[in-house]
């Protein structure tokens, strides 16, 4: 990632003509109306829309890695043209801006048509390796799906999305990527704390990058409208372009496709749980059909361990999307997707079988991850589940930072079990180590004794164990204060 001091002079006369192949537009029906006003859209998968002209676009930050994915150099990303294009003020040949139509369940209730309210897609770039990357601007102005909102984004939330997209990728979590954050030169009115005290904030646009931004809700809206012909067409399109290995369209392929979505979703959620990530808004319109983390809104990371924590203040009462509940919500969301695609099946037994298999498949992924976090070659439920439960109970009773604890745990060995040494090794994981009672300390020593016995029984080489644990247990996650430091620096 590269932060640039602004203003930055253009260092390239123009951006190269990236090769666009907009199959979504070419193969699926569009909204016949061209005017940009809020409306219900039927018989179409998208509406064409122009971004709002921005007053003074300036590039604030870009990701070198993501730029390379789409075929842009560092020099090109620092050009004036880049800022103009990736705020929506200018277009490269082949760019065709549009907003997707989709619906969704929000907090467990069907919300009807939603759609890209402040996201405008630019098209799909085909890079030198033949890989497809969709480009999407968030905060570039209202669309027919804006539901009366201004379609804009503020710098604060844009930086949070930019940083988290790239952080999640490097933590090994399936995710959409972020190419850039550009200032718009305009102010946006927002109520940061939802307390009625709205203030003007700097506006910004994030460029998201992913193979596709298709969501569960793209399919849900068509079934809700009883447009089963278009539903089949969209499913066939999705399989052809993103799951071609599954075969030709038909019930058997559709079932394979749903199973693949279910498994990708399970693996994504297991990785969220591994790094202590809480999405905050797991509505079905925020679920990627490719099993990617998408739509970084009021996300957060566990600090002192609390399985019931959610970063979303609007969910503070019910805590539907709390950390520990994310696997169950993913399962519920898959039921809603199954309900959406069931008209394509004569019998739904296969769909139900896949859904019933989800908890077991997720548990397999979670056990694999927990084994790695503990430095074990396998997770044995009969012996390791009690060990795991005892550890989480200790976390909850001592304000322990899960991320730091697991990272430091790899340093514990039989040689370090003398007197108070384990507490010293793990000290940085406790928010207030002086307040930990002797009873809790004794519980930790007892747990470590059992843990070391389990390691000895497992027999993994110590260096291999440390390497395995460090791969599974990040040293750093994007804590709220880190994101805030970046926001403060940018403003």
Pick the more confident residue, 111 or 196.
111
152-164 pLDDT, tens digit each: 999 999 999 999 9
**pLDDT-derived band at 338, boundaries 50, 70, 90:** very high
Whether the pLDDT of residue 102 is over 60: the answer is: yes
Q: What is the pLDDT of residues 27-74, one digit of tens each?
A: 999 999 999 999 999 999 999 999 999 999 999 999 999 999 999 999
| Buried b or exposed e, range 131-160, using 16+ CB within 10 angstroms | eebbbbbbbbbbbbbbeeebbbbbbbbbbb
Residue spans of the domains in the chain: they are 2-212, 217-372, 375-472
Q: CA 189, CA 279: separation in Å to the nearest integer?
A: 25
Q: Longest Cα pair distance anywhere in the chain, in angstroms? A: 75
The mean pLDDT of 418-445, rounded to a whole number, is 87
Residue with tokens 């590039």: 59
**Which pLDDT score is estimated for 176?**
99
Place 420 in a pLDDT band, splitting at 50, 70 and 90: low
Q: Rounded to an integer, what distance in angstroms lies between the CA atom of residue 85 and that of residue 15?
A: 9
Measured CA to CA, the distance from residue 63 to residue 69 in angstroms comes to 10
CB neighbours of residue 335 within 10 Å: 15
pLDDT (average), residues 108-132:
97
Q: How far separated are the first and last CA of the chain, in Å rounded?
A: 18
The percent helix, strand, coil of the chain (3-state, each to 5) is 45, 15, 35
CB atoms within 10 A of CB 374: 24
Pairing of strands 153-154, 109-113: unpaired
Whole-number Å distance between alpha carbons of 363 and 234: 31
Say if residue 7's pLDDT is above 80.
no
Contact in structure between 182 and 87 (CB atoms under 8 Å):
yes
Cα(76)–Cα(83) distance, rounded to whole angstroms? 10
Phi, psi of 98 (to 5 degrees): -155, 165
Helix or strand run (H / E) with residue 284: none
Q: What percent of the chain has pLDDT over 90?
A: 90
pLDDT band at 419 (very low <50, low <70, confident <90, very high): low
Instruction: Label the pairing between strands 277-278 and 103-106.
Output: unpaired
Confidence of residue 423 (pLDDT cuts 50, 70, 90): confident
Q: Could you give the residue numbers annotated as active site?
A: 285
Contact 473, 412 (CB under 8 A): no
333 upstream amide cis, omega within 30 of 0 = no
Residue 1 in this model has a pLDDT that exceeds 90: no
pLDDT at site 415:
67
Query: Whose CA is closest to 259, among 392, 375, 358?
Result: 358
């Amino acid at each position: 990632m590269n932060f640039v001091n602004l203003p930055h002079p253009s260092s390239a006369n123009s951006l190269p003509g990236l090769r666009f192949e907009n199959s979504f537009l070419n193969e699926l029906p569009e909204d016949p109306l061209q005017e940009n006003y809020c409306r219900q859209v039927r018989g179409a998968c998208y509406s064409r829309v122009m971004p709002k002209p921005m007053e003074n676009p300036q590039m604030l930050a870009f990701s070198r890695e993501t730029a390379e994915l789409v075929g842009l150099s560092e020099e090109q990303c620092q050009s004036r043209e880049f800022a103009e294009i990736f705020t929506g003020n200018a277009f490269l040949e082949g760019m065709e801006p549009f907003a997707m139509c989709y619906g969704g369940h929000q907090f467990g209730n069907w919300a009807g048509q939603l759609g890209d309210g402040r996201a405008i897609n630019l098209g799909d770039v085909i890079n030198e390796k033949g890989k497809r990357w969709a480009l999407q601007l968030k905060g570039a102005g209202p669309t027919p799906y804006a539901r009366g909102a201004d379609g804009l984004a503020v710098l604060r939330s844009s930086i949070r999305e930019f940083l988290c997209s790239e952080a999640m990728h490097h933590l090994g979590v399936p995710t959409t990527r972020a190419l850039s954050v550009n200032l718009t030169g305009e102010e946006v009115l927002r109520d940061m704390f939802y307390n009625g005290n709205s203030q003007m904030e700097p506006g910004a646009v994030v460029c998201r990058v992913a193979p596709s931004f298709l969501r569960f809700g793209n399919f849900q809206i068509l079934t809700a409208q009883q447009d089963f012909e278009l539903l089949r067409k969209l499913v066939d399109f999705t399989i052809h372009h993103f799951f071609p290995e599954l075969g030709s369209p038909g019930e058997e392929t559709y079932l394979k496709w749903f199973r693949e979505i279910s498994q990708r979703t399970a693996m994504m959620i297991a990785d969220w749980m591994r790094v202590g990530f809480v999405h905050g808004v797991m509505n079905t319109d925020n679920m990627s059909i490719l099993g990617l983390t998408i739509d970084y809104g009021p996300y957060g990371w566990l600090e002192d361990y609390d399985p019931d924590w959610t970063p979303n203040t609007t969910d503070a009462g019910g805590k539907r999307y709390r950390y520990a509940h994310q696997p169950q919500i993913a399962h519920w969301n898959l039921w809603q997707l199954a309900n959406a695609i069931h008209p394509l099946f004569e019998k739904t037994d296969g769909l139900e079988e896949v859904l019933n298999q989800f908890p077991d498949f997720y548990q397999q992924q979670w056990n694999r991850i927990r084994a790695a976090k503990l430095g074990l070659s396998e997770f044995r439920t009969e012996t390791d589940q009690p060990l795991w439960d005892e550890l989480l109970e200790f976390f909850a009773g001592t304000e322990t930072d899960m991320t730091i604890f697991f990272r430091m745990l790899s340093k514990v060995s039989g040689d370090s079990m003398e007197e108070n040494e384990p507490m010293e090794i793990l000290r940085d994981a406790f928010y207030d180590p002086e307040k930990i009672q002797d009873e809790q300390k004794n519980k930790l020593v007892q747990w470590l004794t059992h843990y070391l016995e389990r390691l000895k029984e497992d027999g993994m080489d110590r260096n291999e164990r440390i390497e395995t644990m460090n791969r599974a247990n990040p040293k750093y996650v994007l804590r709220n204060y880190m994101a805030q430091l970046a926001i403060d620096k940018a403003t």
